[in-house]
Amino acid sequence: MTAERDPQTGIETTGHSWDGIKELNNPLPRWWLWVLWVTVIWAIGYWIAMPTWPTITGFTGGLLGYSQRAVVADELEAAKAVHAPLNARILATPLDRVRTDPELLSFALAGGRSAFLVNCAQCHGTGAAGGKGFPNLNDDDWLWGGTLADIEHAIRFGVRSGHAEAREGDMPAFVKDQLLSEAEAWQIVYYVLDLAVGAPKRDSPAAQLFADNCAACHGADGKGDAKLGAPNLTDAIWLFGGDRNAIYASVAQSRRGVMPGWQSRLDEATIKKLAVYIHALGGGR
């Protein structure tokens, strides 16, 4: 069959005619047609080789058995395998020696930072700067001591976490428990404010109240005691705020911050890495 040609252009027509208008048969350029067929073949190959079609209970797996989940799992395993020897060395090395081994130190700092961001940053902040009631871990003021061992202990067992080994500071709620009157509590507040700037009124009734009620834990000079978790009242750092209302609230109602213990949630190597990381933030002793 010879195709009809359009007399104007000399191009073949498709033979279709609408209201006397005929369609010219301008086929696709060849390379374009080839590209189409290549994509079709590619698609069929892809269906066979890769996971594509959903089924009622799952999907067709494909001959190559490719799975992004498996890839991620493999990568995690590979990362674990890479870290395994270093983690083993961290476990076998005492904390203070981790600090002096450059390779272990850099591994501990990197791992400690990751663990910190996942587990600790919720309360202490991503930069470990803390907030009201949550200690700033960058500074040199430590309620329970700032040595590597102190820090590791705090991470492992927490503060008032309910664990037998946990730190248990126990400041009385002087007003709430009617140990002191409100007026006496205020006297102590003003005495402590003077103490903080280094000018306590030594022979005042307030001084006597402080000596009777506070000095047992905070010391006669107010410098605190890390064994009891009693804060130093003479320094510039106030965990719950340093103005008179905040101090009164502390005296009247006590403060009972809680930190969970991480021994049951983190592995040994991670706890050690966290201790090294926090110690290295700038305030470790």
Partner 1 sequence: MLERAATVDAAKPRDAAAGIERVEVAAVNLPARRSQYQKHEKVYPKLAHGTFRRIKWLALSGMLAIYYAAPWLRWDRGPGFPDQAILVDFPARRFYFFFIEIWPQQVYLLTGLLIVAALVLFLITSLAGRVWCGYACPQTVWTDLFIAVERLIEGDRAARIRLDQGALTAVKVAKKAAKHATWIAIAIATGGAWVFYFADAPTLARELAAIEAPTVAYLFVGVFAAATYLLGGFAREQICTYMCPWPRIQAALQDEHSLIVTYRTDRGEPRGPLRKGESWEGRGHCIDCNNCVAVCPAGIDIRDGHQLQCISCALCIDACNAVMSKIGLPRGLIAYDTLENEVRRAHAEPARYRWLRPRTVLYAGLIATVGVAMLAALLLQSDLDLTVERDRNPVYVLLSDGTIRNGYTLKAINKTYATRTLTLALDGPPGARVAIVGGESREPATFTVEPDKLRSIRVYVSAPAGVLTRDATPIRFTASDAAGAATVASAVQGPKR
* Residues within the interface to partner 1 (CB under 8 A): 26-27, 29-30, 125-129, 136, 138-141, 232, 235-237, 280, 282-283
- The 3-state DSSP class for residue 24 equals strand
- Least distance CB 83 / partner 1 (angstroms): 22
* Least distance to partner 1, CB of residue 162, Å: 30
Residue placing its CB nearer to partner 1 in the complex, 54 or 198: 198
CB distance 106 to 261 below 8 Å? no
Q: Which is nearer to partner 1, 261 or 283 (CB)?
A: 283
CB environment 251-269: b (16+ within 10 A), e (fewer): bbbbeebebbbbbeebeeb
Q: What is the nearest approach in angstroms of partner 1 to the Cβ of residue 39? A: 19
Nearest distance from residue 131's CB to partner 1, in Å? 11
The torsion of the CA quartet 234, 236, 239, 240, rounded to 10 degrees, works out to 80
219 and 227 Cβ atoms separated by less than 8 Å: no
The span from the CA of 83 to the CA of 132, in Å, is 36
The residue among 126 and 208 lying less far from partner 1, judged by its C-beta, is 126
Q: How many Å apart are CA 111 and CA 115, to the nearest integer?
A: 6
| Tokens of residue 243, six digits | 């103005």
Nearer to partner 1, 124 or 167 (CB): 124
3-state helix, strand, coil in the chain (%, to 5): 45, 5, 45
Least Å distance, CB 54 to partner 1, is: 34
CB nearer partner 1, residue 52 or residue 106: 106
| Closest C-alpha among 172, 169, 221, 212 to residue 192 | 221
Q: How far is the CB of 223 from partner 1 (least distance, A)?
A: 10
If the CB atoms of residues 186 and 277 are measured against partner 1, the closer one turns out to be 277
Distance CA(158)–CA(135), nearest Å, equals 13
> Residue 128 or 166: which CB sits closer to partner 1?
128
Minimum distance between the CB of residue 127 and partner 1, rounded to whole angstroms? 3
Write phi, then psi, for 54 (nearest 5 degrees). Answer: -75, 140
